[in-house]
Chain A
Amino acid sequence: MAITKEQVLHVAKLARLNLTDEETERLRGDMENIIGFADKLNELDTEGVVPTAHAIPMQNAFREDVVIPSYDREAILQNAPDRDEEAFVVPKVVE
């Protein structure tokens, strides 16, 4: 399983990570090893096998559509890295 530097950088972009050259090279090797390890799964014939998402049978968990108390705005904003009186503040998105 060969993984190229370009593939690593593409995945990093999808994952919103900026990698240094050293990290890129180390991750390239690690990904080759770990994904190569996962290639072992190809030894098993899974034609027609239904994938399992949860180990126990799950059904939709519905609740009544009623309003319940929510958090105070202040409680939610108290951890914000940057904020004003009533909102999270982020860098300007639209010029």
Chain B
Amino acid sequence: MELFQYTAHEIADKIKAKEISSVEATKAVLSRIDAVEDKVESYVTVLPEHALAQAEEMDKKIAAGEATGPLAGVPMALKDNLCTKDILTTCSSKMLYNFKPPYNATVTEKLKNADTVLVGKVNMDEFAMGSSTENSYFKKTKNPYDITKVPGGSSGGSAACVSADEAYFALGSDTGGSIRQPAALCGCVGMKPTYGSVSRYGLVAFASSLDQIGPLTKDVRDCAAVLDTIMGHDPKDSTSVNIDHGNLLSALTGDIRGLKIGLPQEYMGAGISSDVMSAVMGAVDNMRGLGAEAQEMHLPLNEYALPAYYMISSAEASSNLARYDGVKYGFRAEHFDGLVDMYCQTRSEGFGAEVKRRIMIGTYALSSGYYDAYYKKAQQVRTLIMQDFQKAFETYDVLVTPATPTTAFGIGEKTDNPLEMYMADICTVSVNIGGLPALVLPCGYDAAGLPIGIQIIGKPFGEAQVLNAAYALEQTITKVRPTL
């Protein structure tokens, strides 16, 4: 086995046991990037000197017994909407093509304090708007299992780099499925934790009532280790919750006897491919075999989640993206006529087509005469959808659904039809509406060898139960690596 193929916890153990150094692990990842990056194109910025210098420092700390955490010395990547001090943070947009933040995001700081090594910043749909990473201003990331297919999105770079062994783990952000959908299409583990459990300070905002940061990893144990590192209250994010999240790594017992699983039928009907359905139901049978009780049930309002999501997220995006005006940072148009036209020209040249579409939809939904009909209506529907979930969790511990309706689709296949692209998130958006934790892991492969993801949804702050269910299921699945 090659050094870059190990999971984060395996490589951390080797570093801890002094079998290898953090510098060696970092070099292994950097040469892997050299070898496959022209095919996968998951990175916007690779930081070889920075990474090697950091790794050297970590080796010293480890030798001195000062770095003992579960991720000490491990090379990783960050989605390019997470602020990194003095390191490009572009959101894969022309608007921020030259932006070097003067500060670190809280998650960047926490991972640094956990003695990890930042290898680079990874590609995404522009401002996290999209489901295929085709909306990046810079490049189109490919699916490591088949480079004619998309990696999913918006955290497509995070998923592809982990799947292609170009980093031991990555962080992404998830507003409507942007961690879980690419994790499913690229065959890795991805989790969106409960709203409020990870600080968003330094995450470039898309839709503030839905955005949440989370890990993309090679297995469930790594997912728990990264969450243990990044979760927690932060005074710099007024939506961050001040509770004790416990230790998630120690929750992985693999014992799911008596676990009550709900199977919402609304996620399993028309539009879900038969390959996906049979892999998901096979996984459910495996969980039954481990002593879980799974039962069909209903979440009747699920079909309203996607339209509600597009109204709420676009409205919040139009407000959040009003700050890009060419004054304080980023791109400014060259030719304009006066101040207001400078704003308009800068925004017209700096934003791509999908971002403009969302800003237009959102501005419309918030504009005079339409606010009640669209934005307020969507927020009321949100209340009803949350009540649906609350009722379900009176009976069930977790809910299990497919992660995506199909396996990875072709590059260019859905770019002409925005609504068809939005349907790629049909299994994931309701979780953001409800603020719930949900994890995706691979549960099989289709006839073409493309990964199929299964989603496990938990109660608010029920991360431990979700991770343990995933951990138990993971032991029953044979993982197939991509060949690059």
Contact = CB atoms under 8 A, between A and B. Distances in A.
B364 A35 contact: yes
Contact of B235 (A63, A75, A76): A63
Interface string A51-78: 1111110101101000000010001101
Contacts of A56: 194-196, 241, 435, 460
A11 B307 contact: no
A83 to B, nearest CB: 9
Q: Is the interface of B mostly helix, strand, loop or mixed?
A: helix
Nearest to A34: B361
A8 B338 CA distance: 23
Contacts of A92: 338-339
The interface centre, meaning the residue of A18, A40, A55, A88 with most chain B CB atoms within 10 A of its CB, is A55
Interface stretch (B134-142, B153-161, B325-333): B325-333
B360 A12 contact: yes
B360 A37 contact: no
B382 A52 contact: yes
B331 A55 contact: no
A54 B100 contact: no
Interface in B380-429: 380-384, 386, 418-419, 422
A44 B307 CA distance: 12
B376 A51 contact: yes
Given A27-B357, A53-B379, A81-B332, A38 B310 contact: yes
Nearest to B238: A61
B310 A34 contact: yes
Nearest to B382: A52
Interface size class of chain A, counting residues whose CB lies under 8 Å from the partner chain:
35 or more
Given A14-B367, A23-B356, A54 B379 contact: no
With a 10 A CB-CB cut-off, give which of A7, A30, A43 has the most chain B CB atoms. Answer: A30
Interface in B168-202: 194-196
B348 interface: yes
Contacts of B306: 37
Contact of A38 (B99, B311, B325, B386): B311
A51 B379 contact: yes
Interface in B90-123: 98-100, 102-103
Which residue among A15, A56, A61, A81 has the maximum number of chain B CB atoms within 10 Å of its CB? A15
Given A79-B99, A90-B327, A55 B380 contact: no
A41 B433 CA distance: 14
B433 A55 contact: yes
A17 B340 CA distance: 10
A33 interface: yes
A53 B209 contact: yes
Contacts of A43: 304
B308 interface: yes
Contacts of B379: 51-53
Interface of A: 7-8, 11-12, 14-19, 23, 27, 30-31, 33-35, 37-38, 40-44, 46, 49-56, 58, 60-61, 63, 71, 75-76, 78-82, 88, 90-93
25 contacts: A16-B325, A16-B340, A17-B351, A17-B359, A19-B348, A27-B357, A33-B418, A34-B310, A37-B307, A38-B378, A49-B383, A49-B384, A51-B382, A55-B195, A55-B209, A55-B435, A56-B460, A71-B102, A71-B103, A79-B99, A79-B329, A81-B331, A88-B327, A91-B336, A92-B339
Counting from the closest, the 7 A-B pairs by CB-CB distance are: A55-B435, A51-B379, A79-B329, A81-B332, A61-B238, A46-B380, A75-B102
